[in-house]
Structure 1
Amino acid sequence: MIQWLYKSIMTIGFPIIELILLLRVKKNKEDFGRLNERRGISIVQRPEGELIWVHASSVGESMAALSLIERLVSSETERNVLVTTGTLTSAQLMMDKLPDRAFHQFTPIDRPAFVKRFFKHWKPDLLLIMESEFWPVQIHTAKKFGIPIIAVNARLSEKSFLRWRIATSLSSTIFEDLSLVISTNKEQGSRFSKLGARNVVVSGNLKRSAPKLDVDQSVTGVLSEQIGNRPVWLAASTHIGEDLPIMEVTNSLLDRFPNLLTIVAPRHPSRGKDIAELGSKIGLKVARRSCGEEIVPETQLYIADTLGEMGLFFHISDTVFVAGSLVPVGGHNPIEPAHFDCAIIFGNLMSKNQEIADEMLSESAAIKVHDNKELFNALAHLLSEPEASNRLAQNAKEYANNGYKVLESVSKSITAFTNV
């Protein structure tokens, strides 16, 4: 009944869906030139041979899928991979990073006509859903077309799990239709079993196998020359509510380390102007990368408000605070800086990467803080004790280097449905 109601709402809600899409275009959240992809229409022809569809929500999920996508295309010469996401940022990153024979499209809105049109055009042989992107019409249509559906790196927050349990008439049909659930840990696997999934295995978190981010060495040389021998710490992928505490920590640290450079890389580069204004307001000397401003000896706060350069900033930083973890966002992937010999700190709100966070803490590969006071203490300790900082960075790198084991496990689980 609920599924029928959901499909009916998505069908008769066509005018509202179109209005929302246009409003999102106006807010720069949709690409007008590719808006038809959201309606299941594509100007790209389906490639010959096997086609695996990988669906991810946004940047974090799609980045986690990269190592698997590379494995999928490298293991079979006649195989292609279609990657769908729903945000402009993830679309740009995927177009820059996808290997040959893998390509990006925007995911269709979960309206029956749009989804059916999408399936008829692409005719995928297998659908891989990253983490928790479960759309009722999408899954029902895949099942109707006889396409196996695998949930990869599957996880549900406590709130999402409880919501799905309440909507049992809808959730049971969705999770029973999954051919395989590859969960991140036993607790997550249990949640999917309780929701009706019949085939559940545990592999670990695929984000552990995320490849090392690209670095433009020519740009690295320029920034390194500007920085010189100054100590550098990076607040990576900050969200609203984190910038001010980070700047307050910076002000306090400057009293003890007057040569310190703080780099803030906002998760959404469009916030760069606001962050710079906030920094200037509290008395910091600020420079913005998007404006072409250089790092000079007087620069105390450098706003890295560009896209696709996070690897560069990991490379030039001694210590990295993984943001999105002092506000209820769920934290970002600490594996990314771990590849770069960085000492790693994160907050206590790491639900989206909890397995990785817990494992890194148990292996002395990261430091957890609960507030800006603890962040200050951790940074002051690492800046004062190079040996402790180096040891933390080395442990993090060793942890990251073992991530291939998770990829092997995931690939092995998929083997029954394709020739990985």
Structure 2
Amino acid sequence: MAHALRLYLAGAARAAPLARRVLQRRLADGREDPDRLSEREGIASAPRPDGPLVWFHAASVGESLSLLEMIRRMGTERPDLSFLLTTGTVTSAAMLASRLPPRCTHQFVPLDVVPWMRRFLDHWRPDLAVLAESELWPGLIVECGRQGVPVTLINARMTARSHARWSRWGRGAASDLLSRLAHVQAQDEATAERLRSLGLPSERLEVTGTLKEGAAALPHDERERDRLAQTTAGRTLWLAASTHDGEEAQVMQAHGQALRAWHRLMLVLVPRHPDRAQGIAEGLRDAGWHVARRSTGDTIGPETQVYLADTMGEMGLWYRLCPVSFVGGSLVPVGGHNPFEPAALGSAILHGPHVFNFADIYDRLGRAQAACLTEGAELGAVLTRVLEPDEAARLAHAAWEVCSAGADVTERALDLVFAMLDGVD
């Protein structure tokens, strides 16, 4: 075993006191569920189901949602299988609460403390571990190996920053860890090249695209969509989705500019983190905007200029309701958010320049003239143009064609996991 990896595991074996202090700080910040905190120490809150169990792990909301269609299809094909889905955030747990497929249990993943991970694996005894995107935790991977649990990484994504961080470990440590993965399916060639440079054998690696291309369209409440459509009849709507601090001001500037041409325009504003909504609402009202807030039950009236949709799990509703969507996290250096969601639901896509989390798909959308890249100062002019129904429809159709072209990604991931299960059996 590489020296750096051995040192990490030695520290992780004794890290429980420090990890508990970290959990208490996170709990105080509202980033842990007090009723389920023990799960973060590997103490299960549910029994292990009988029969074969496939463990899927994803970091948070976007990553876990991309796995649900895969789990659903596996469960349909193999009624003998049960599934464990772990994540690390309270927002993901809230989102998944009403969406888990049959025979699927959600747990919070333990912190990467060796005794906690060992306790977790002793209870769940998975037949296979399937990690998503960038969840390369050394304790998790090594303990799976010690307990004979095969590990695969699907939908793999590695940014330049992550690559630099792994490189500082030394190629030997990274290579040692990656060699413990049975197979890797990467989202793009850039990720594949970074993994190869860290020592992942080429024969264990393939580039398949992102699972988000094959994910089912986001769900929604059709009765609520009908109600809101009637409430806003005769008005033009647009959506600012998953916005971050620093973006709302630019979005509101664009909204004010577009209002000069579209006098009954209403913005549906969905902050990425709903706990910011109170401050956003106060700031907008202080600036003179007429705001209705969804979480407090405010009604939309003729005077409403901004509908602050500060609830979880309703993006499918907003993308269906709004013909034009700005996808946030892209005017500030967050890296952008998932463009497949609006593309699947017929909403034209606007975005800023910071889309490195989804660089490949945004590049494909740009080449196909299926999305509009804009700096913040230009957003209002671009929005005014794209709100024209013919232009919005053209962009939406082009984006749907680009994003639906990769629907076989889920099939390839399913083939891999079923093949590994057959190997286990």
Find 1:269's aligned residue among 260, 263, 274. 274
Q: Secondary structure at the match of 1:418?
A: helix
Alignment correspondent of 2:83 = 81
Alignment correspondent of 2:237 = 232
Cα deviation for residue 293 of structure 1 reads: 0.5
Alignment correspondent of 1:171 = 174
Alignment correspondent of 2:74 = 72
Per-residue Cα deviation, 1:283-321 (whole angstroms, up to 9, x for no partner): 211111011001111111110000111111111101001
Alignment correspondent of 1:205 = 210
Contact 1:49/1:79, CA 8 A, preserved across alignment? yes
The number of residues matched between the two structures is: 418
Contact 2:324/2:347, CA 8 A, preserved across alignment? yes
Q: Secondary structure at the match of 1:129?
A: strand
Contact 2:42/2:117, CA 8 A, preserved across alignment? yes
Cα deviation for residue 419 of structure 1 reads: 5.0
Equivalent residue letter for 2:216: P
With 397-406 and 149-158 compared, the bigger mean Cα shift is at: 397-406
Find 2:126's aligned residue among 124, 127, 133. 124
Per-residue Cα deviation, 1:379-405 (whole angstroms, up to 9, x for no partner): 11112x321211111122233433421
Find 1:188's aligned residue among 188, 191, 206. 191
Residues of 2 paired with 1:342 and 1:283: CA distance? 29
Alignment correspondent of 1:377 = 381
RMSD: 1.5
Alignment correspondent of 2:27 = 25
1:255 aligns with 2:255: no
Find 1:63's aligned residue among 61, 65, 75. 65
TM-score (norm 1): 0.96
Alignment correspondent of 2:402 = 399
Alignment correspondent of 1:412 = 415
Residues of 2 paired with 1:354 and 1:419: CA distance? 35
Q: Secondary structure at the match of 1:256?
A: coil
TM-score (norm 2): 0.95
Alignment correspondent of 1:316 = 321
Cα deviation for residue 44 of structure 1 reads: 1.1
Residues of 2 paired with 1:244 and 1:60: CA distance? 25
Cα deviation for residue 413 of structure 1 reads: 3.1
Cα deviation for residue 163 of structure 1 reads: 1.4
Equivalent residue letter for 2:32: E
Find 2:312's aligned residue among 307, 314, 332. 307
Cα deviation for residue 365 of structure 1 reads: 2.0
Equivalent residue letter for 1:70: R
Per-residue Cα deviation, 1:168-194 (whole angstroms, up to 9, x for no partner): 243122111111010112221121112
Q: Secondary structure at the match of 1:212?
A: coil
Residues of 1 paired with 2:377 and 2:111: CA distance? 44
Residues of 2 paired with 1:224 and 1:159: CA distance? 43
Equivalent residue letter for 1:2: A
Contact 1:95/1:103, CA 8 A, preserved across alignment? no
Gaps of 5+ in 1: none
Q: Secondary structure at the match of 1:97?
A: coil
With 346-355 and 149-158 compared, the bigger mean Cα shift is at: 346-355
Equivalent residue letter for 1:362: R
Equivalent residue letter for 2:174: S
Residues of 2 paired with 1:138 and 1:311: CA distance? 34
Q: Secondary structure at the match of 1:96?
A: coil
Cα deviation for residue 248 of structure 1 reads: 1.2
Per-residue Cα deviation, 1:79-109 (whole angstroms, up to 9, x for no partner): 1111100000101112211110111000001
Contact 1:128/1:151, CA 8 A, preserved across alignment? yes
Contact 2:14/2:113, CA 8 A, preserved across alignment? no
Task: Report runs of 4+ in structure 1 exceeding 4 Å deviation.
Answer: none
